[in-house]
Amino acid sequence: MAELAGKVVVITGASRGIGAAAAREFAAEGAKVGLLARDADAIAALAEETGGHAVACDVADPAAVAAALEAVEAAFGPVDVLINNAGMIDPIGHIAETDAEAWGRNIDVNLKGVFNGMRAVLPGMMARHSGTIITVSSGAAHNPLEGWSAYCAAKAGAAMLTRVAHVEAGPAGVRVMGLSPGTVATEMQVKIKASGINPVSRLDPNAHVPADWPAKALVWMFTADADAFRGQEIQLRDAAIRARLGLPA
């Protein structure tokens, strides 16, 4: 994919799961990957593997996100692509019994973390009239699920924030989209399974797609072939989308 060669791609939550898989996919296409996550050791190892630049960072901290992106730009140049991937499922539990601080932490990561990334890159992207921002969404953004009040609320907010970013930055040439990957075989699914709450926890593990499927989708979303989906949320469950990616239906 020649159009990705030399492009600077920043991925939050890059230490594992979809984020790590995406880093490998983008690097394989010749992109320079900036790796952001709290797990410094994991992203350092991934940077060694991919030739990327790792910056330990909590996406809930706006100053830390801004500093991390400045560090990536100092190493590689202006950010061409931001993948808002960092996320957490905790706390799982009923609203009446959930710890307020834990609930707020979920919002800080899953919603404010998306804002913090956008806030850091949008001025430069809009000034250059180019750039791509992709938010990793979830079916939980659109469907209420027992025990997931924080996750559903945060993902719903992030989905709307992504649409607002498209309205504001799209006219300046910035491509903004969301990706709902479905259930993915990551560490998050282990926590969900252990909770025993709501139908998702009772899914057969074989129903979950591998992390490299959404990673391939994220790479494709950078290309002009995905331009028709600007401002929208792409559903990886959609058989037509999978066919475009060469994935099983």
Task: Give the lowest-confidence range in 121-125, 130-134, 164-168, 200-204.
Answer: 200-204
Mean per-residue pLDDT, 88-101: 97
pTM of the predicted protein model: 0.95
The 10s digit of each residue's pLDDT in 15-71 is: 999 999 999 999 999 999 999 999 999 999 999 999 999 999 999 999 999 999 999
Task: Kindly list the domain boundaries of the chain, sorted by start residue.
Answer: 2-245
Q: Is residue 225 scored above 90 in pLDDT?
A: yes
Q: Tell me the pairing of strands 81-84 and 53-56.
A: unpaired
The residue-averaged pLDDT of 160-174 equals 98
Q: What is the pLDDT of residue 209?
A: 87
Query: What does the pLDDT look like over 15-31, one tens digit per residue?
Result: 999 999 999 999 999 99
Which of 81, 157, 87, 159 minimizes the C-alpha distance to 124?
Answer: 81
Give the β-pairing of 233-235 and 8-12: unpaired
Contact 221, 179 (CB under 8 A): yes
> pLDDT value at position 223?
94
Locus of tokens 């989905």: 159
Q: Which of 105-119, 146-160, 164-178, 189-203 has the lowest average pLDDT?
A: 189-203
Task: Considering only residues 123 and 249, tell me which one the structure prediction assigns the higher pLDDT.
Answer: 123
Which of 3 and 106 is assigned the larger pLDDT? 106
- Is 151 labeled as catalytic in the residue annotation? yes
- DSSP assigned state of 91: P
Task: Classify domain 2-245 at the CATH superfamily level.
Answer: NAD(P)-binding Rossmann-like Domain (3.40.50.720)
Instruction: Please give the average per-residue pLDDT across 142-167, as a whole number.
Output: 97
Question: What percent of the chain lies above the pLDDT cut of 70?
Answer: 100
pLDDT band (50, 70, 90) for residue 238 = very high
What is the pLDDT, as a whole number, of residue 185?
80
Looking at residue 186, what is its pLDDT? 85
From CA 37, how far away is CA 187, in angstroms rounded? 15
Structure tokens at 34: 């900036």
What is Dmax (Cα atoms) for the chain? Answer: 52
Other Cβ atoms within 10 Å of 216 Cβ, number: 19
- The answer to whether 91 touches 17, Cβ cutoff 8 Å, is no
Model confidence at 1, in pLDDT bands (50, 70, 90)? low
Cis peptide before 91 (omega within 30 of 0): yes
DSSP H or E stretch at residue 32: strand 32-37
Residue from 76, 151, 220, 222 carrying the catalytic annotation: 151
* Mean pLDDT, residues 178-182 taken together: 94
